[in-house]
């Protein structure tokens, strides 16, 4: 095990799980996710600060309010329409729909409900509005390789914890 502690510029690998207020696992990664601490990848809810100074083998637990996690649920990002007004390829729960506003910004919405001939899409993150508990285990702390420095991002899995 490395004796290096997490500081800006160190390459860190970690695993984590995110659970709701009832203890239900909402997201979990068993394969370590790697990033350069203090680089372009930002961890949710102050996780960066919570793991600074930690070493390989350390475990950290964070309690996050909705504002610290994925933000409050915004009802203005939820729309319901008659299913007949929706193209057939989007008529299933979980379908991704790219929508563009008047300014040309594109946002991903997800079909979250189909009921009584009506379809609902939601542009909120699935964990928005939820109080969360994050369990983190640090696996490795070391100097980054040249390749990792040039990427300065996630080297393993893409994850919601890194956003």
What is the CATH classification number for the domain harbouring 41?
Answer: 3.10.50.40
Q: How many CB atoms lie within 10 A of CB 123?
A: 16
Tell me if 3 is assigned to some domain. Answer: no
Tell me if 32 is assigned to some domain. Answer: yes
Q: Which residues pair with 114 in a beta bridge?
A: 119
pLDDT of residue 44: 77
Structure-token pair, residue 147: 């390749």
Reported confidence tier of residue 101, pLDDT bands at 50, 70, 90 = confident
pLDDT of residue 123: 94
Tell me if 85 is assigned to some domain. Answer: yes
Whether residues 39 and 85 share a domain: the answer is: no
Tell me if 1 is assigned to some domain. Answer: no
Could you give the CA distance from residue 69 to residue 155 in angstroms, rounded to a whole number? 22
Confirm if 16 and 134 have CB atoms less than 8 A apart: yes
| Class of residue 41 by CB neighbours under 10 A (exposed 0-12, middle 13-18, buried 19+) | buried
Q: Would the pLDDT of 105 be above 50?
A: yes
Q: How many CB atoms lie within 10 A of CB 87?
A: 8
Share the mean pLDDT of the chain. 88
Whether residues 107 and 93 share a domain: the answer is: yes
pLDDT of residue 163: 45
Whether residues 30 and 101 share a domain: the answer is: no
Q: Would the pLDDT of 161 be above 60?
A: no
Q: How many domains does the chain have?
A: 2
Tell me if 162 is assigned to some domain. Answer: no
pLDDT of residue 111: 95
Q: Give 18-41 pLDDT, tens digit per residue.
A: 999 899 999 999 999 999 998 887
Whether residues 133 and 107 share a domain: the answer is: no
Whether residues 36 and 53 share a domain: the answer is: yes
Could you give the CA distance from residue 145 to residue 79 in angstroms, rounded to a whole number? 46
Reported confidence tier of residue 120, pLDDT bands at 50, 70, 90 = very high
Q: Would the pLDDT of 156 be above 60?
A: no
Tell me if 33 is assigned to some domain. Answer: yes
Give the residue from 35, 49, 58 showing the smallest Cα distance to 144: 35
Beta strands (DSSP E) in 25-117 are: 25-36, 59-64, 78-82, 96-100, 106-115
Chain centre to alpha carbon of residue 65 = 14
* Domain containing residue 132: 11-67+128-151
Which of left, alpha, beta for 104 (phi over 0: left; psi -120 to 50: alpha)? Answer: left
Q: Would the pLDDT of 117 be above 90?
A: yes
Whether residues 26 and 99 share a domain: the answer is: no
Tell me if 37 is assigned to some domain. Answer: yes
pLDDT of residue 152: 64
């Amino acid at each position: 095990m490395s004796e290096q502690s997490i500081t800006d510029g160190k390459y860190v690998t970690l695993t984590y799980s995110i659970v709701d207020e009832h203890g239900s696992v909402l997201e979990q990664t068993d394969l370590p996710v790697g990033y350069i601490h203090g680089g372009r990848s930002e961890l949710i809810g102050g996780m960066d600060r919570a793991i600074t100074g930690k070493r390989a083998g350390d475990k950290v637990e964070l309690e996050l309010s909705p504002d610290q996690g994925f933000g409050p649920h915004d009802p203005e990002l939820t729309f319901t329409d008659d299913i007949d007004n929706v193209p057939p390829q989007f008529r299933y729960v979980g379908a991704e729909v790219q929508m563009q506003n008047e300014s040309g910004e594109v946002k991903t919405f997800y079909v979250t409900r189909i009921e009584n001939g009506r379809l609902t899409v939601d542009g909120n993150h699935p964990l928005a509005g939820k109080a969360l508990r994050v369990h983190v285990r640090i696996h490795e702390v070391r100097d980054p390789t040249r390749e990792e420095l040039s990427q300065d991002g996630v080297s393993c899995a893409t994850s919601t914890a890194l956003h």
